[in-house]
Structure 1
């Protein structure tokens, strides 16, 4: 672009001069056509026929070069040649008295303007030679001017007028030279300034282009960060989250290798947990890990909590010695930090040299922070699931123990629904199908196809079963009817568990009420003997058949009671 601008600037000056000269020549020829016609009519009455014919020929030639599509040089040289020819014609007609000098000065000026001031000097020298030859011919009598009324003059007059012509020609050519020189310098300065402006413009355009490309890159990166961040928030399983993250970063950013390191429990090693490349997967199989603070930029970042870029040149070139990732030329490691605590390191590698910059750190650090939050959420979700599962197991164990106790106290609780009504089962034996349903925990279909036994399960423990039997004339159980029976069994299980919980809460409330009542009665008594006696009496009445003994021992006398009291079913000692 800069070379092109320089060529344009260097060619501007000749082009402008050529355009000006062509415009000036065209205007001059048009004026010559207009005023030449007036001069031609005037010469018809004042000049001889031969000169009038010459003037007519000259005018026709001027009209032709004005109208016809001829080149600039042909027009300019023809015009100058015609002016010189008119000057020679004037010399032969009137000598130095008439228009000969005017035509010659005009030819000199035109040559300087239309070509260069050097051409004007050439025409001036030619004019001096021409006037010397004509002066010698006319004064020597070898040539006679056609207008006999004009005195040809003498040598002094010819020399004087020739010198005047030379002086005027010199002034005209020098003035044109100075004007052209100053114009050229001014134009060169203008073109130099224009060239500088064009160079600055090209530089600004390059900078704008670079800035635009950089902004486009940042925009695409931020869009990719947003897409990846939005995608990884939907994963709750840590392993799946990390593996999908490496895949998404590879697809959206095009990095050669993406690896995620997590710190071990002792926080001594950064362990590779997920990777997308083939080399990374081989490293995963080997259990690849790096010593924190000692090995590679991953170890550096894990210790310093600061992102770092390594290139394949300079001091960092030592890091690129992994045989599993031989194509790596640039590497960037980003800390995965949440609440000031580092969880791991995001490691990305590229096959291009100088692939990463400080701006890339600022952009990808956003993704690293989102990934760190997602990892923390996944860990919290896993911990919550484990705690919930532990609570379920503990509650299930409590529930099973409660039902075992209930069934131990009342081993055969059963009811039979028949057409007349509902009655309690009196037999101590259990129907074989019901027993099988309780033992297996599965729905049992009788051999006749009309009987099904559905287990009643609470927290995976079978506490009973329902036996449903159709009449002999009925059809066998359909899948829909069986599903309905299973649903009813589940509802019954929930209702029984709710009833047990309600009974437990009632018993707990009764115990708390009892403790509260005893505490209130004891708080009203101030003597120690009465407090002990009241305590023993209340506990004895509450516990029924239980024996209550209360003693106070003196440690200095061993375990021998110093005093004892007994009240009804209770005994107190001190």
Structure 2
């Protein structure tokens, strides 16, 4: 069943193809509607020809030849001719031939047939239907003409149609004809309405198509501009240097977009002016050479674009009051200025000018704005690249300096000689005292690290051996040598630094214990006498047969652990003593550091309190008492504060501004002044402008000259410390603390007095500035008062009198003269 169905489908498909070929219109007919009409006429003509032919062949078998049969064959011929015409270029004539043949057949059937009334109604009904092959007017002519002719001929040549039959036949035929005309008229009107609707729809479609084509053209134009902008942006972004990038950009944009002029402005670092970075053509070079710039507070299009952060467009410069003409660009008719943005920051503008009005408009601005965005990104990238290259170059220079310094430190002539050279000759390696000259037969490769030359590797070879492969081998070996000697230098330097660090640690430990021992009352030593622990001096308690185990911290010996009568001590006991000594060393070092930390905290607290008192001091006396508090607590007998005035950058005058004496009258009362030039020993007092000067023994210190030694001996000064008050190399003053008894300054005291120098200097500087400001204000007030009184005078005499009186009062002068005279003093 499935097979037969498939076969039937294939037969139907073959039949359809054959049928379509039989009725296909002529190839010259292109209109689908006309091809359909031609194919319909061909199908109708061919169908009638085949059906009538079959009917005539059957009729011949029954009645034989007669006149009606002959007319039938004639009609069949007309149908076949109509079929042939419908498949030709003259397909429009086919309906006339076909209908003409059918009219002949209809009249023959009516007048030659056995049943005239039946054939009249039947054949003319078919004729009226076939008349639809023509338009309405032609159809009306065919129907009405044939109605008139058949009705007239039927009365004359069909006498058998009489009475009611004739009336019915005529009425039926006329009615059918009229109904055919009515339906044809309805069909024609309906088709006309449909045609009008189709035409209207087609007109709307055509209008939409035109709008769509216009939109497509605009989109294509915008797309072309965008693609051009993208190509231009890609082209200019390939340039790395900023100057070359901008010069290439403006020339490319002007050429590709057929513009009159193009230029790029960038904001200066202060963001106050737009500076022309590049312009197209000779005008751009002239403006660039003249350092053309626009103030950002101006009213030009470019400054507006920067300030408003949006594109400024002038479509016709002749109609725009905002346009500012440039004498070098007289042909400008339209202009657009687009801000160049890097992120949210405006960095400049892209200014484009055309010699045609309306060359720039809202639709093509996106392309130029896209181009401006690409240029801004390219500018930013060029700047970042330049900064990166500068940073890289600086890093390379720093690396070379570091390498050079490291190797100079390594080859310091102390640990290593300043030059190391070796030569391999005659199967022996020998050191070189001097570098050998490089000859033409020498192939060399530098020993470089981070671009810094360290030396060279040279080989003497005959010409035939100096090949590129040999040179490459030498360079490879040179690189390996450089890397390896750098690694060895780092290892040796690390070992050297480690040794120096250990030495520094031992030195700090030694100094720390030295300070600790100086602060202790007696030498620390204790012994156990099998009953109790008692103090001991090692010198007094020396014994023979004593096991002495040193107490070491950071490799530095700070004491010892002694076991008397050690003959009976075995090795195990000795190990135990060593272990105890190690732990004892670590523990007492921890205790010392803890005490040192506590002292540092106490020192910091003392300095904090001193700093507060110095800050809160309201006069020089309070300032002196705040700075001298540690010295007074340490037993000093005299504390003095001096101001120093400079002249031409050198200390000139010293003034006593505050003092404190534990007992007796002050040797230098407040207000005492003397010049350094008058003091022969002032050189020592000014010898340490940035750190305190400590003199523990004024009679034995080598720095003290005979004059000062005698002066301090006369004032019973055994020890003193001079604290400089110096700011930026300018002497402001000094503080001096003295002891009648010899006083040794500990490291803690030295740190405190050094810190006091830093704390007191800003305070005395502020006070002196305040005094100076007050004095200046008083002078200004005095001058203002005198000026007001002088201005109030109405006569020359009054002015002179007021000037003399007020100056006398203000200056405290015993006599002031204000004189006006034109007399020559020499006469």
In the alignment, the residues of structure 2 paired with residue 123 and residue 486 of structure 1 have an alpha-carbon distance, to the nearest angstrom, of 117
Unaligned runs of 5+ in 1: 1-13, 139-144, 146-150, 407-413, 418-465, 471-476
Distance 1:83 1:188, change over 3 A: same
Correspondence for 1:288 among 292, 295, 298: 292
Correspondence for 1:354 among 354, 360, 376: 360
Correspondence for 1:108 among 116, 119, 128: 128
Q: Map of 1:272-311 to 2, 5 A cutoff?
A: 272-311=276-315
1:354-393 per-position Cα deviation (integer Å, ceiling 9, x unaligned): 2641453245224314414534664787799899999999
1:326-363 per-position Cα deviation (integer Å, ceiling 9, x unaligned): 45454443445568665443434455602641453245
Helix, strand or coil at the partner of 1:97: helix
Partner of 1:65: 82
Question: How much has 1:115 moved relative to structure 2?
Answer: 0.3
Partner of 2:93: 74
TM-score normalised over the length of structure 1: 0.60
Q: Map of 1:9-408 to 2, 5 A cutoff?
A: 18-41=34-57, 44=60, 46=63, 49-67=66-84, 71-93=90-112, 96-97=116-117, 99-111=119-131, 113-138=132-157, 152-154=160-162, 157-186=165-194, 188-190=196-198, 192-193=200-201, 196-197=204-205, 200=208, 203-204=211-212, 207=215, 210-211=218-219, 214-215=222-223, 217-222=225-230, 224-232=232-240, 235=241, 239=243, 242-243=246-247, 246=250, 256-264=260-268, 267-312=271-316, 316=320, 318-319=322-323, 321-336=325-340, 342-350=346-354, 353-354=359-360, 356-358=364-366, 360-372=368-380, 374-375=382-383, 378=386
Taking only aligned residues, the RMSD between alpha carbons, in angstroms, comes to: 5.9
Distance 1:200 1:538, change over 3 A: farther
Partner of 1:435: none
Q: Higher relative CO (CA 8 A, sep ≥ 6), structure 1 or 2? A: 1
Q: Map of 1:429-444 to 2, 5 A cutoff?
A: none
CA contact (8 A) 1:335 1:342 kept: yes
In the alignment, the residues of structure 2 paired with residue 290 and residue 366 of structure 1 have an alpha-carbon distance, to the nearest angstrom, of 24
Distance 1:377 1:317, change over 3 A: farther
CA contact (8 A) 2:332 2:354 kept: yes
Helix, strand or coil at the partner of 2:264: strand
In the alignment, the residues of structure 2 paired with residue 122 and residue 82 of structure 1 have an alpha-carbon distance, to the nearest angstrom, of 17
TM-score normalised over the length of structure 2: 0.44
In the alignment, the residues of structure 2 paired with residue 222 and residue 165 of structure 1 have an alpha-carbon distance, to the nearest angstrom, of 80
What is the number of equivalent residue pairs in this alignment? 467
- The reply on whether 1:551 has 2:721 as its aligned counterpart is yes
Distance 1:20 1:158, change over 3 A: farther
User: Which region of structure 1 is more displaced relative to structure 2, 277-286 or 57-66?
Assistant: 57-66
In the alignment, the residues of structure 1 paired with residue 102 and residue 303 of structure 2 have an alpha-carbon distance, to the nearest angstrom, of 94
Helix, strand or coil at the partner of 1:290: strand
In the alignment, the residues of structure 1 paired with residue 256 and residue 77 of structure 2 have an alpha-carbon distance, to the nearest angstrom, of 80
In the alignment, the residues of structure 1 paired with residue 144 and residue 309 of structure 2 have an alpha-carbon distance, to the nearest angstrom, of 90
In the alignment, the residues of structure 1 paired with residue 92 and residue 248 of structure 2 have an alpha-carbon distance, to the nearest angstrom, of 79
Unaligned runs of 5+ in 2: 1-29, 413-417, 422-432, 457-484, 520-598, 600-629, 637-691, 706-718, 726-733, 754-827
Distance 1:308 1:93, change over 3 A: same
User: Which region of structure 1 is more displaced relative to structure 2, 30-39 or 68-77?
Assistant: 68-77
Question: How much has 1:561 moved relative to structure 2?
Answer: 7.5
In the alignment, the residues of structure 1 paired with residue 392 and residue 455 of structure 2 have an alpha-carbon distance, to the nearest angstrom, of 30
Q: Map of 1:403-442 to 2, 5 A cutoff?
A: none
Distance 1:346 1:48, change over 3 A: closer
Helix, strand or coil at the partner of 1:319: coil
CA contact (8 A) 1:264 1:271 kept: yes
Helix, strand or coil at the partner of 2:291: coil
1:212-242 per-position Cα deviation (integer Å, ceiling 9, x unaligned): 554454355345434533533xx3xx65565
Distance 1:312 1:389, change over 3 A: farther
In the alignment, the residues of structure 1 paired with residue 696 and residue 292 of structure 2 have an alpha-carbon distance, to the nearest angstrom, of 70
Helix, strand or coil at the partner of 1:99: helix
Question: How much has 1:23 moved relative to structure 2?
Answer: 3.2
1:284-334 per-position Cα deviation (integer Å, ceiling 9, x unaligned): 223322222324211213333444343336865752622323454544434
CA contact (8 A) 1:553 1:562 kept: no
In the alignment, the residues of structure 2 paired with residue 193 and residue 176 of structure 1 have an alpha-carbon distance, to the nearest angstrom, of 25
In the alignment, the residues of structure 2 paired with residue 539 and residue 248 of structure 1 have an alpha-carbon distance, to the nearest angstrom, of 86
CA contact (8 A) 2:340 2:375 kept: no
In the alignment, the residues of structure 2 paired with residue 561 and residue 73 of structure 1 have an alpha-carbon distance, to the nearest angstrom, of 139
Distance 1:206 1:390, change over 3 A: same
In the alignment, the residues of structure 2 paired with residue 244 and residue 311 of structure 1 have an alpha-carbon distance, to the nearest angstrom, of 26
In the alignment, the residues of structure 2 paired with residue 187 and residue 53 of structure 1 have an alpha-carbon distance, to the nearest angstrom, of 43
Distance 1:160 1:467, change over 3 A: closer
Helix, strand or coil at the partner of 1:551: strand
Structure (1/2) with the larger helix percentage: 1
Distance 1:207 1:52, change over 3 A: same
Distance 1:48 1:370, change over 3 A: closer
CA contact (8 A) 2:261 2:353 kept: yes
Distance 1:516 1:192, change over 3 A: farther
CA contact (8 A) 1:334 1:368 kept: no
